[in-house]
């Protein structure tokens, strides 16, 4: 076990940061680490917006559901899938990439590229003693995020990333049993085995919450998911993507 892996295994999201901004050097290292991640056929289909403007951060915190740490942190990044750059290359060379960028396949590439980059930035931050928290909550209102950050056509904000010096010490949240996530040669075909693993995990999670809430919260993971996912959220997404040039053909 080396330090890099120890850093990863010690990951927990930080939702309270000290009032110490990251230095420009720290930000540069995080962006360079992000850029070093693999990219599909060298396409580099993402951009990163660093948000420093306090008013913008405040508005992002509000639209993300009132998450104060979106405003109060060492630095706030927004990771975007980006094909504006590829449209620019087409203009520069007299070609047309519209049909390709409209494909579901390329949308997937943009999401994957941006996510690989973000995870490098996250692990790099944690290796420097910083804490991080992904903010999917910005997807509550991407139209507003889009306007706040002045994003051109073919650029989709995907999630935020808070980085900063931790001002709390949360516990590590237990993950699904390895055998439920990892399969050899084929997906687990025995439904009973699969569900038994989830039930075993429920006991772990129930005990985790019971301990940390003095018995106020006792439910397991499967009940949480089964109830949370009964109503779709962010149902405007398809229309927003169409408007931004991604009809997912």
Please report, for residues 23, 110, 228, the alpha-carbon distance to residue 45 in angstroms, rounded to integers and kept in the order given: 26, 5, 32
| Shortest Cβ 37–a copy of itself spacing (Å) | 6
The pair of structure tokens assigned to 19 is 């009032």
CA distance 23 to 45: 26
| Shortest Cβ 171–a copy of itself spacing (Å) | 13
Residue among 72 and 78 whose Cβ is closer to a copy of itself: 78
Residue among 46 and 69 whose Cβ is closer to a copy of itself: 46
Three-class SS state of 248: coil
Three-class SS state of 219: coil
CA distance 177 to 150: 42
Residue among 218 and 223 whose Cβ is closer to a copy of itself: 223
Nearest to 117 by CA among 154, 78, 171: 78
Residue among 16 and 37 whose Cβ is closer to a copy of itself: 37
The answer to whether the CB of 18 falls within 8 A of the CB of 167 is yes
| Shortest Cβ 241–a copy of itself spacing (Å) | 7
Residue among 139 and 166 whose Cβ is closer to a copy of itself: 139
* CB within 8 Å of 204: residues ≥ 6 apart: 174
| Shortest Cβ 189–a copy of itself spacing (Å) | 6
| Shortest Cβ 106–a copy of itself spacing (Å) | 7
């Amino acid at each position: 076990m080396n330090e890099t892996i120890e850093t990863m295994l010690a990951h927990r999201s930080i939702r309270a940061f000290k009032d110490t901004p990251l230095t420009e050097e720290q930000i540069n290292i995080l962006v360079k680490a992000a850029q070093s991640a693999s990219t599909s056929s060298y396409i580099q289909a993402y951009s990163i917006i660093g948000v420093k403007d306090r008013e913008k951060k405040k508005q992002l915190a509000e639209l993300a559901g009132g998450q104060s740490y979106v405003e109060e942190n060492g630095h706030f990044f927004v990771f975007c899938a980006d094909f504006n750059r590829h449209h620019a290359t087409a203009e520069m060379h007299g070609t047309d990439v519209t049909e390709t960028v409209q494909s579901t396949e390329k949308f997937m590439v943009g999401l994957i590229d941006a996510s690989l980059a973000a995870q490098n930035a996250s692990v790099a931050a944690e290796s420097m003693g910083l804490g991080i928290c992904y903010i999917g909550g910005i997807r509550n209102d991407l139209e507003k995020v889009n306007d706040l950050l002045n994003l051109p056509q073919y650029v989709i904000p995907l999630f935020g990333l808070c980085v900063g010096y931790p001002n709390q010490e949360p516990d590590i949240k237990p993950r699904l049993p390895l055998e439920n996530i990892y399969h050899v040669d084929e997906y687990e075909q025995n439904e009973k085995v699969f569900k038994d693993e989830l039930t075993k995990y429920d006991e772990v999670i129930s005990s985790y919450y019971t301990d940390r809430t003095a018995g106020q919260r006792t439910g397991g993971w499967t009940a949480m998911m089964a109830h949370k996912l009964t109503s779709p959220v962010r149902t405007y997404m398809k229309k927003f993507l169409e408007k931004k040039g991604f009809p997912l053909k």
